[in-house]
């Protein structure tokens, strides 16, 4: 729990420090004082400065793959670029994760905050690299060159293309957090900035920062009122349910508040989230997450752009057990800690059971009060199972995972496991 608090606190400080740069960028673009090429340079330089400030010397572990993949996208053919990008980037990220675990457990070193920030940023870079590689492989885009560059030499066009890709990998509004933005959307937002001042940026900043502060205050109040233990090592019997629920509530408030801050910075700089070329959407929907009675809805809504990326990268390309493969890859992407492996595989099993339960029970004709009771019970079960999964994912040692498994909290996923065995297989949708 201390690791979560310290890491997110430091990230929030750096994100808030980047807001003036985002406001200045939006103002210069809208007023016409920043040509397109300088916009890419502004975003890239801002990202480099933010990386050095937040990660220190560890920033080199971000710069190396960003430079290498920028070169690779100009060398490897579009038919195989997605395979090379996936294998090389995941190999690099896995190596960094294993190095981190070696230092943390074998060398028994204290987790350095700058190193944890680097790992988080590297995971976001993996999203951008694989997303761009899939776009190239599927021929959904080609590298477009600014019109003013077309009259110059081939080398000038090549250098400009490198600048655009590097800027996409390192642009500061999405370096330390924020939703995934595709390369095409990134180019469109940079090249088609409004020609008049956009006052929505200021409103987005005020709204996002206000919600961030409100959630932080609520979290601080709960920390004062709720007695929690992250590892569940000392609780007994039914008290473990309260410990798990209260601990995960603090986790969720931490994630919600910082996602709101990340999204506010993202929008303040003039970017937005567009899924399936539809209208702009939010990457976080707290109301849906806290009120849904279906684990499947929670999984699709939790960090929505990442869920869509996982669906495109893994789920859509697996012919056998796509759901299991998707959550197994998510555990790999997050770092392969014991709790993450157990938690994500448990989430996949719970999601499969959730489909079957609601398919068999959701459409049965019932009186309104029975249906209301059904939704209430399934909402409570959903929230407790999600709390169980999140508590497992946030566990860093085998001892804490074992304590969770042998506590009374396991009663809730066991119910779903039994249901998964005895209920029929859901229809494929």
Structure tokens at 284: 């976080």
* Cα(17)–Cα(15) distance, integer angstroms: 5
3-class secondary structure, 282: coil
Residues 6+ apart with CB under 8 A from 116: 3, 7, 100
* Cα(219)–Cα(217) distance, integer angstroms: 5
Q: How many CB atoms within 10 Å of residue 147?
A: 9
Residue 281, H or E segment: strand 280-281
Does residue 232 contact residue 405 with C-beta atoms inside 8 Å?
Answer: no
Residue 175: DSSP 8-state: T
Structure tokens at 171: 């642009």
Whether 198 is catalytic is: no
Residues 6+ apart with CB under 8 A from 25: 34, 39, 42, 43, 46, 269, 270
**Beta strand extents in 97-174 (DSSP E only):** none
Catalytic residue (choose from 112, 137, 285, 334): 334
Catalytic residue (choose from 303, 358, 360, 409): 303
- Nearest to 15, CA basis, from 106, 124, 137: 124
* Cα(365)–Cα(371) distance, integer angstroms: 8
Number of H helices, E strands in the chain: 17, 2
Q: How many CB atoms within 10 Å of residue 375?
A: 15
* Cα(33)–Cα(262) distance, integer angstroms: 26
Whether 303 is catalytic is: yes
Distance of alpha carbon 114 from the chain centroid: 19
Tell me the catalytic residues: 303, 334
């Amino acid at each position: 729990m201390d690791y979560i608090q310290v890491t997110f606190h430091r990230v929030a400080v750096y994100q808030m420090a980047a807001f003036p740069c985002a406001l200045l960028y939006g103002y210069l673009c809208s007023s016409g004082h920043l040509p397109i090429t300088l916009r890419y340079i502004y975003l890239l330089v801002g990202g480099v400065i933010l990386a050095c400030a937040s990660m220190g010397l560890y920033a080199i572990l971000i710069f190396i793959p960003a430079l290498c993949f920028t070169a690779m996208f100009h060398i490897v053919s579009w038919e195989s670029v997605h395979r090379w990008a996936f294998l090389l980037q995941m190999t690099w990220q896995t190596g960094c994760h294993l190095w981190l675990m070696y230092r943390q457990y074998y060398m028994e070193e204290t987790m350095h905050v700058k190193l944890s920030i680097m790992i988080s940023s590297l995971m976001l870079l993996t999203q951008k690299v694989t997303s761009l590689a899939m776009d190239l492989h599927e021929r959904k885009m080609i590298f477009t060159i600014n019109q003013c560059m077309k009259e110059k030499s081939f080398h000038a066009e090549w250098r400009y293309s490198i600048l655009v890709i590097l800027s996409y990998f390192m642009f500061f509004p999405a370096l330390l957090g924020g939703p995934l933005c595709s390369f095409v959307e990134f180019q469109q937002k940079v090249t088609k900035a409004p020609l008049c001042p956009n006052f929505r940026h200021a409103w987005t900043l005020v709204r996002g920062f206000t919600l961030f502060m409100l959630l932080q205050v609520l979290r601080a109040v709960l920390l004062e009122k709720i007695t929690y233990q992250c590892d569940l090592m000392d609780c007994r019997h039914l008290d473990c349910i309260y410990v798990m629920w209260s601990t995960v509530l603090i986790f969720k408030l931490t994630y919600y508040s910082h996602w709101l801050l990340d999204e506010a910075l993202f929008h303040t700089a003039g970017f937005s989230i567009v899924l399936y070329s539809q209208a702009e959407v939010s990457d976080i929907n707290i109301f849906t997450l806290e009120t849904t009675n279906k684990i499947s809805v929670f999984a699709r809504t939790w960090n929505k752009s990442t869920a869509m990326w996982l669906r495109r990268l893994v789920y859509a390309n697996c012919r056998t057990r796509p759901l299991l493969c998707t959550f197994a890859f998510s555990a790999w992407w997050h770092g392969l800690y014991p709790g993450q492996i157990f938690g994500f595989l448990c989430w996949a099993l719970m999601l499969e059971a959730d489909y079957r339960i609601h398919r068999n029970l959701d459409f049965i004709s019932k009186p309104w009060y029975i249906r209301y009771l059904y939704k209430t019970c399934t909402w409570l079960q959903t929230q407790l199972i999600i709390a169980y999964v999140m508590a497992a994912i946030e566990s860093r040692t085998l001892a804490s995972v074992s304590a969770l498994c042998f506590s009374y909290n396991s009663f809730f996923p066991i119910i779903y496991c039994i249901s998964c065995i005895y209920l029929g297989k859901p229809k494929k949708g």
